[in-house]
Structures are given as structure tokens and as C-alpha cells.
Structure 1
């Protein structure tokens, strides 16, 4: 059973690597619409905020770039989900490998 699960994990990791190879432009953050006068909702503009290397960043985004930036943020979220899955699978794979080695020594 454990060797079968290891094969499944290895196949899933291979699919994750393939998906990561196809990822395009990305950037972290959240894109929000802000207003120069929030009470009256006047003077709208787009702003991206993110933290990178323990530093907070905020940038203005032109309206025409808003769809592209939103797509890059979505791509970044997909990237981080794939990386997290890879890490979880790698941990499980390592534990199974040690468990199988232990069984082979004692069996």
C-alpha cells in the first residue's frame, strides 16, 4: 500500500512541476479601488498592496492595467497553492520512504 501511495505522490508532484512550468507573469498582493474623497466616493483610483521580504509596498495602478494586474495576482495565488501542495506531498513521501525502509530492515 505504501509503495502504491508513493507512486501516486510522485505522479502528482510531476503534474505540479509541469503546471509550474506553464505559469506566466505573476505578482503578490491585493488590488483595491480607493477614493481621494471616500465619503463622497470621488476621485477613484486603483492601488496594489503587498508585502515582500518583510517590507510593505503600495503602488498606484492605472485603470487600463487593472485587468492585467488582477490576472497576475490570480496567477501568483495559483503558484503558491501549487508550491504548498508540492511541499505537503514531499513531506508525506519522505515519511513513507522512511516507513518502508524501517519495515524492510525489520522484516
Structure 2
């Protein structure tokens, strides 16, 4: 949980910055999110298949799986964008 003191000027929680430039750090985070999503989907399917289905629990587990997958995709998208070759503009000619 974010403490109430850890907010930006608009009162929103301050973002967390993770340094994922190390391949191992990137792998650990993205793999953990993928594993979590996979396990949450499995729990959701199990709950839906109970003799007396737990619809609320199943829906919550599916939602958590979606959050984990969304976070993983967000990380990958940001890293891909930052890793893409940057276009450089041609030098400007000086006018005299």
C-alpha cells in the first residue's frame, strides 16, 4: 500500500521507478508477473468449477491476472520504446 504521505501535487500516489536495465532484473519482474497471471487464471478456473462455484472469487482472480498481464505489457512496451534507435536530426546550417 502507498502511504498517504507518498503522493504527488495532485494527491495521486507517486509512481515507482524500477531500474530494469539489468537483464536479470527485467527477467525476474516480467517472469514473476507472467507466473502470477498464469496462477491467478488457474485459481479463477478452479473456483468457477467448484461444486458450488465461487463467482466473486473467480472474477477477482481473473481481474488480478489481468492486472499482472497489463503491468508486464506496460513494462515491455516502455522498454521497447526506450530501446528503439532514436532518430537524430540533421545539423542546422549557420546563416551569416
Hey, which of these two has a bigger chunk of strand by percent? 1
Ranked by relative contact order (alpha carbons within 8 Å, sequence separation 6 or more), the top structure is 1
Q: Please, what TM-score do these two structures have when normalized by structure 2?
A: 0.47
Q: Please, what TM-score do these two structures have when normalized by structure 1?
A: 0.43
